Amino acid sequence: MPIRTIIEPFRIKSVEPIRWTTRKEREELLKKASYNVFLLDAEDVLIDLLTDSGTGAMSTAQWAAVMQGDESYAGSPSFYRFRDSVQEIMGYKHVIPTHQGRAAERILFSVMCKKGDVVPNNTHFDTTRANVEFTGAEAVDLLREEGRHPEVIHPFKGNMDVEALEALIQRVGRARIPLVMLTVTNNSGGGQPVSMENARQVSAVCKKYGIPLYFDACRFAENSYFIKLREPGYAEKTPKEIAQEMFALGDGCTMSAKKDGMANIGGFLCTNDDIIAQQEKNLLILTEGYPTYGGLAGRDLEAIAVGIQEALHEDYLRYRITSTGYLGRKLTEAGVPIVQPPGGHAIYLDARTFLPHIPLNQFPGVALTCELYLEGGIRAVEIGGLMFGKAAKMDLVRLAIPRRVYTQSHIDYVIEVLLEVWKRREDVDGMELLYEAPFLRHFTARLCPTAEVAAAAR
Ligand SMILES: *Cc1c(COP(=O)(O)O)cnc(C)c1O
């Protein structure tokens, strides 16, 4: 029998203690945080699954590269190492560093979009949508039907609806569509991958109408590995070859290095277009910095240069995708409702099905998030009614997995805590909203369990 256990493909050289709290303490802490986990101190969290963005562990090779960081203002060798590493994978002519992904988005859309334009995407991530709309353009999501149903199992639920894309181009006219974007993997749609076949079809439509295609490449390595596992003809290719093939279908990309860049900060923007690149660099100098550092330190560029290559290592990706899938599988086996199939970077709990007795105006997603913290000191995030208001189509709780940070026993602990909450789910109370800010209210909202509100009124 071959050995089947998939282990973490690293050993641990530097450890960071995590802090236990008692349930009694967590009750106090959560109350003090007004039942909003964004208001908790990170030190009061045992397992932090709030986000996979910038929360990963760097490798010894990355830390060694950090020491090579050259902090020259212009023409630093760190920039050239960064540029060469990015170009080897992405293949684009111009590589423009930025402080994170949204800065790349702001610069790209400021240069390419104007009022009245339309930008199609499989699904815009929230900062992407906001940056498109800030230019006066319209952000249109063209996800295929299967991607819109949490329970449906399909290998590539991130795919764009290619017919809808062509229909949109014909309806609004090519002149109003400055670019098409494809987000790999589709973060807002549950971390679901896009197939090479779909990228090829989208690229063909773009070429037919002369519209540039850009990738939102944040999780390009995870997407490449899903293609290797699931798409016929790719089993023998390396994740890097798959990534190279996909990027060759487009004209540029935006990237948050806090995801598959394996860095704690950073991002970049790529394009093949000389004129656009010049305009982008001019804007970069205005707000981010000189084009050989773009708001980053030389050491950050070094960390990204190494990290973006490590994200494509097959043993890392096998561990990454398998451990997320392991969490999803164990929960599914116990009957816990999650978005299927498990994505690359996170598991999404379906809070409406988990807590059917809690009405939507009492935020089932927030209630479940609070319960996970109370039960086991786990911090997740609500993506539903509190975040999006009445526009929310689902109430999800995202368990995002930081890269190379937690081991299988941490994941086993998360499973145990979740199953404990699942067992006594009928006792979980809804939440009443006490305070909301006019924008992005989920970050600062204050809430209270409905039973406490009722008790106080008596
Ligand atoms: C995180 C993310 C961004 C934005 O990147 P930041 O580094 O957080 O600014 C854009 N698109 C997608 C798909 C993302 O996941």
Phi-psi label, residue 392: left if phi above 0, alpha if psi -120 to 50, beta otherwise: beta
Distance of CA 137 to the CA centre of its chain: 23
Tell me which of 109, 119, 187, 214 to substitute to probe ligand 1's pocket, judged by most ligand atoms within 8 Å of the beta carbon.
Answer: 187
The answer to whether 329 and 96 have CB atoms below 8 angstroms apart is no
**Residue carrying structure tokens 């001019």:** 282
Which residues, 6 or more positions from 42, have their beta carbon under 8 angstroms from its beta carbon? 48
Q: Is 189 helix (H, G, I), strand (E, B) or coil?
A: coil
Give the closest residue (by CA) to ligand 1 atom 1. Answer: 256
Query: Which two three-digit tokens encode residue 431?
Result: 């939440």
Q: Which amino acid is at 405?
A: V
Nearest residue (CA) to ligand 1, atom 11 = 125
Nearest to 363 by CA among 398, 396, 400: 396
Residue 179 CA to ligand 1 centre (angstroms):
18
- Pick one of 3.90.1170.50, 3.40.640.10, 3.40.50.1580, 3.30.420.40 as the CATH number of 60-310: 3.40.640.10
**CATH of the domain spanning 23-52+313-457:** 3.90.1150.10
Q: Would you mind telling me the total number of residues written for the chain in this entry?
A: 458
Bridge partners of 97, per DSSP, are 268
> Would you say 32 and 41 are in contact if contact means Cβ atoms under 8 Å apart?
no
Domain boundaries, the chain: 23-52+313-457, 60-310
Residue among 131, 196, 130 nearest 158 (CA)? 196
Closest atom of ligand 1 to CA, residue 185: 13
216-217-218 Cα angle (round to 5): 100
Residue 394 has a pLDDT of: 87
Residue in the structure block whose two tokens are 């319209």: 138
Q: Which residues of the chain have pLDDT under 70?
A: none
Query: Which amino acid is residue 292, in one-letter code?
Result: T
Cis status, amide bond into 356, omega within 30 of 0: no
Per-residue burial over 225-248, b = 16 or more CB atoms within 10 Å of its CB, e = otherwise = bbbbeebeebeebebbebbbbbbe
pLDDT (0 to 100) of residue 455: 87
Q: How far apart are CA 111 and CA 402, in angstroms?
A: 33
**What is d(CA 431, CA 373) in angstroms, rounded to the nearest whole number?**
15
What distance in angstroms lies between residue 214's CA and the mean position of ligand 1's atoms? 14
Position 448 scores a pLDDT of 95
Q: Report residue 78 as tokens.
A: 């760190």
Ligand 1 midpoint to CA 194 (Å): 17
How high is the pLDDT of residue 276? Answer: 98
For 386-442, write each residue's pLDDT tens digit: 988 887 888 999 999 999 999 999 999 999 999 999 999 999 999 999 999 887 788
